[in-house]
A and B are shown apart, each in its own frame.
Chain A
Amino acid sequence: MSQVQELTKADFVSEGDVKWCPGCGDYAILSSVQTVLPTLGIPKEKFCFVSGIGCSSRFPYYMNTYGFHTIHGRAPTVASGVKLANPDLSVWVVTGDGDGLSIGANHTVHMIRRNMDLKVLLFNNRIYGLTKGQYSPTSEQGKVTKTSLYGSIDNPLNPLSFAIASGATFAARTNAANPKHMQETLRAAAAHKGTAFIEIFQNCNIFNDGAFAKYLNKDTKAEENLFLETGKPLLFDGETKGIIMNLDGGKPKLSVEEADPANPGVSKSGNKFLIHDPSNEDHTLAYLISYLGSISDPENPAAMGVLRAVNKPTYGEMLHSQEEEAKSAKGTGSLKDLVYSKDTWTVKETAKA
């Protein structure tokens, strides 16, 4: 391997002005990404950022890497093509809640189920920013916006539940306003082979200010964030509470119980708290955890961190190995064989001419 030159954050900063609104959560995401990339040991020219359309999707212009600002909702398709063409690139998809979950939901599902080797950053501000404030698929029911003057009647969807149900091999959640956590999460995604889907809570201070305030507010953040740590019990609020699973009419259900200080890992009612295992092949539990604290489940804390990270072959790996197998079984194809292979006949000069 050639010597990778030392990279710094400055290497990833593009020269033009960044044009998001002052105070927008997107700045913090940009800064975290620019902080993490130089630490990954990947040469700068091997990064490629592909986005759709939206405030969030302007991201590639602000990165001094290869980038492609495509069309609304379709970034996963272009990114898939880039990655399949160049397996040694590190390809990142940047999308929004409208881009990735409304117009482009179809492509998001298929990218995930194929386990394309792409890092996906979904900036969830629960609003359409670029078009100036209409409700999005992640806006809460009843939300009043310019197109929902009487309150939105759409049922919101939960991006992580959506990703996990689509078969995500990696699913995580973080908050733009928590750079340390975000950088850890980005590093975990970068280390994952396959689709690494990250939902990032991102404040749009112009059209949906405060959407994630309760996760940051000094008084509420302890009870609203459930920080996940592999191998540790699911505890929050200063380890005074935790998550247990019981059966509700045969269905598994998560609930919050108070921790028993005398009995670590066990609730006051004697139930064992769940131990976090993102590598669990079965995604049922990850799905249930993803749903906690969602817009439809506001009483519970939201899980933050890596919910799921399992090792499965990627689409690209399988595509390339099929190609290799075909080559070794049939020999590398030649155009001449292809053209001249089948049922040919020859007309000779003498033939009645």
Chain B
Amino acid sequence: MATQEQEKETLDSVTIRFCGDSGDGMQLTGTQFTNTSALFGNDISTYPNFPAEIRAPQGTLAGVSGFQIHFSSNNIHTAGDSLDVLVAMNPAAFKTNIDDLKQNGILIVNEDAFTPGNLKKAGFIDDEDIFAPYESRSRIFKIPITKMTLTALEDFEMMAKAKERCKNMFALGLTYWIYSRPLDSTIEWLTGKFGKKPEILEANIKALKAGYHYGNTIEAFQSTYEVPEAKIVPGTYRNITGNQAVAIGFVAASELAERPLFIGSYPITPATDILQELSKYKHHGVKTFQAEDEIAGIGSAIGASFGGQLAVTTTSGPGIALKSEFMNLAMITELPVVIADIQRGGPSTGLPTKTEQTDLLQVLYGRNGESPIPVVAAKSPSDCFEAAIEACRIAIEHMTPVVFLSDTQIAIGSEPWQLPDLDTLKPFNFKFHEDPETFAPYKRNELLARQWAIPGTKGCEHTIGGLEKEDITGKVNLSPDVHEHMTEIRSKKVDLIATKLPPTEILGDETGDLLFVGWGSTYGAIRTATEKLRNEGYKVSQIHLRHLNPLPNDLEKIMRSFKNVAVPELNLGQLSMIIRSKYLIDAKGINQVNTKPFAVSDLVDEAKKILGEG
């Protein structure tokens, strides 16, 4: 036995991707590896990658599903640029993922799945030695995962198909062994899931252990690895996806506003989870309404808002297109409603399961007339909790629709969330107007937020609508001066939000050679790039915008304290265009629309180019 001689190498961080056919259970495998690593004490960041088709033909390129985990003994902010380990359960998975494997990375393939039929489905030519080009630059382990699993389960009286389904556990067990992870949390999870089906439970545990022991027994792996615990801020944590955090954030906002939560939505990837998650919370008094389309989703939310609820609607870019007319109605009637846009690849139906930041200009400007609507963006999965609360707070305290922006990467990606002390969350500052003597529908407070009297309030009967109206009374009035005045008020009202914002946080020094200005899901990559560059001695800092409308009042001053401003975005330059036009600052776009998150190394290279050293 080789066990004794094997070395244990310590690593800072590792990125693994499990990939295979949609039916191979890769999401589950990835989630288990994630939870085990989180419980072990690593910092983690994950990013699943789903095919757009629910049931693409088995073995095809379109059917490949992947799950990437970055785990580390340091604090990390991305799911990793390139892979230390690629587990490919079939040729299609191999073909679509191999290019992301690092030089000298580990490739584990399920040899049994590399049949002539599967090779052909993945588009390989007969007799091609598909591994040859990678042999010199990666460590390849061809393992008969299916056969080993079946052998391990020989004594089980199950159908061969059911036995074969346990092969993901074998693969998981093997990776647990390579990275010295304990099996107990997965065993516990399996027990919870299959407790009522003891045979399936036993089979899965057996396959998991078989994978683990297999690594232990064969001599193929020269060493195993250890990724020690990270120095994580003390506290209670759970692993969370962005969409879950949005849902919980909305429930929290509803408590802070002391108003029931109403969500009117229509399913669309990648936003659907939020509606699904909130549907579980009826006992929290959450009303979920699956409407007939996106228009009805926001329409019902606006109605609920008129009726005094905390109202939200959730969607993605194509849904925003449909909701635009209603967003404008909420804007002119000055009713609070949060429109969550979980961006995906566009245009049109585009790339439903991929990530992009291409809706910024759409949510800012995609409506007729002058239609200022505040926009708030989340920067990471766990950040969605606070960002969702912030969107609701602005909506209610300022009486306005608010767009909440997230994207696929944040929505389905996950990371540990340090659970907040709920007592420190600030209640929303607003009151329904109930006094007929002092009521006028468009009478405003110092923030220019209008009075909110809800139907049922005696003596405050009034009608609102989409026609232009005069201030204070809200009476329909289409005269030129009134329109100009109201247009200005609506715009000023949104600008005033900026007076309430805390100073913008700067990562790094307050002056320097280069400032990264980012928003949304690029946070982790930009932050890691900033840290790298600073470690190399570059004078680089980062700010990441929570508020895209209004922009923070200190933004211009901060930008002007740097020789260069770079705006990395997963689009062709949307925030950079705004910065350039608004401040006449020569912001340089770093842009990418290849459906992938930024690689840290690319940002580092781009920064060096801007600094004249690329």
A residues in contact (CB < 8 Å) with B? 14, 16, 43-46, 48-50, 53, 60-61, 63-71, 74, 76-86, 88-89, 106-107, 109-110, 319, 322-323, 326-327, 329-333, 335-336, 338-340, 342-349, 351-353
Contact = CB atoms under 8 A, between A and B. Distances in A.
Contacts of A45: 455-461
Interface string B345-378: 0000000000000000000000000000000000
A327 B308 contact: no
B422 A335 contact: yes
Nearest to A67: B463
A182 B239 CA distance: 61
Q: Which of A70, A336, A352 has the most CB of B within 10 A?
A: A70
B299 A342 contact: no
B300 A323 contact: no
B557 interface: no
Contact of A339 (B39, B419, B462): B419
Interface of B: prevailing SS:
mixed
When A and B form their complex, which 8 residue pairs have the shortest distance between CB atoms, in order from nearest?
Answer: A81-B303, A77-B299, A69-B465, A67-B463, A85-B307, A333-B284, A81-B300, A326-B282
A70 B466 contact: yes
Nearest to B335: A68
A82 to B, nearest CB: 4
Contact of B235 (A64, A338, A347): A347
Given A77-B296, A81-B301, A347-B235, A323 B419 contact: no
B212 interface: no
Interface stretch (B122-130, B151-159, B285-293, B506-514): B285-293
14 contacts: A67-B465, A77-B264, A80-B289, A81-B302, A83-B307, A85-B309, A86-B456, A88-B456, A89-B456, A106-B296, A344-B419, A345-B39, A346-B237, A347-B235
Contacts of A74: 295-296, 299, 326
A352 B287 contact: no
Q: Which of A74, A109, A331 has the most CB of B within 10 A?
A: A74
A319 B264 CA distance: 13
Given A81-B305, A82-B306, A85-B308, A343 B299 contact: no
Contact of B299 (A78, A329, A330): A78
Interface residues of B, number: 71
B299 A66 contact: no
Contacts of B467: 69
Contacts of B251: 333, 335, 338
B32 to A, nearest CB: 12
A344 B308 contact: no
B410 interface: no
A131 to B, nearest CB: 15
Contact of B284 (A89, A319, A338): A338
A74 to B, nearest CB: 5
B105 to A, nearest CB: 28
A345 B298 CA distance: 38
Q: Which of A44, A85, A107, A351 has the most CB of B within 10 A?
A: A85
A81 B299 contact: yes
Given A85-B262, A338-B248, A68 B292 contact: no
Interface string B233-264: 11111110000000010011001000010101
Contacts of A342: 238
Contacts of B182: none
A68 B282 contact: no
B303 A85 contact: yes
B252 A107 contact: no
Given A85-B260, A323-B282, 20 more contacts: A14-B463, A43-B458, A68-B306, A68-B464, A69-B464, A69-B465, A74-B296, A78-B302, A80-B299, A84-B289, A84-B307, A85-B287, A85-B303, A86-B454, A107-B299, A322-B282, A335-B255, A344-B237, A346-B236, A353-B231
Contacts of B197: none
A14 B474 CA distance: 14
A340 B459 contact: no
A41 B248 CA distance: 41
A50 B299 CA distance: 11
B296 A82 contact: no
B307 A81 contact: yes
Interface in B203-252: 228-229, 231-239, 248, 251-252
A28 B317 CA distance: 44
B38 interface: yes
Interface in B171-224: none
B583 interface: no
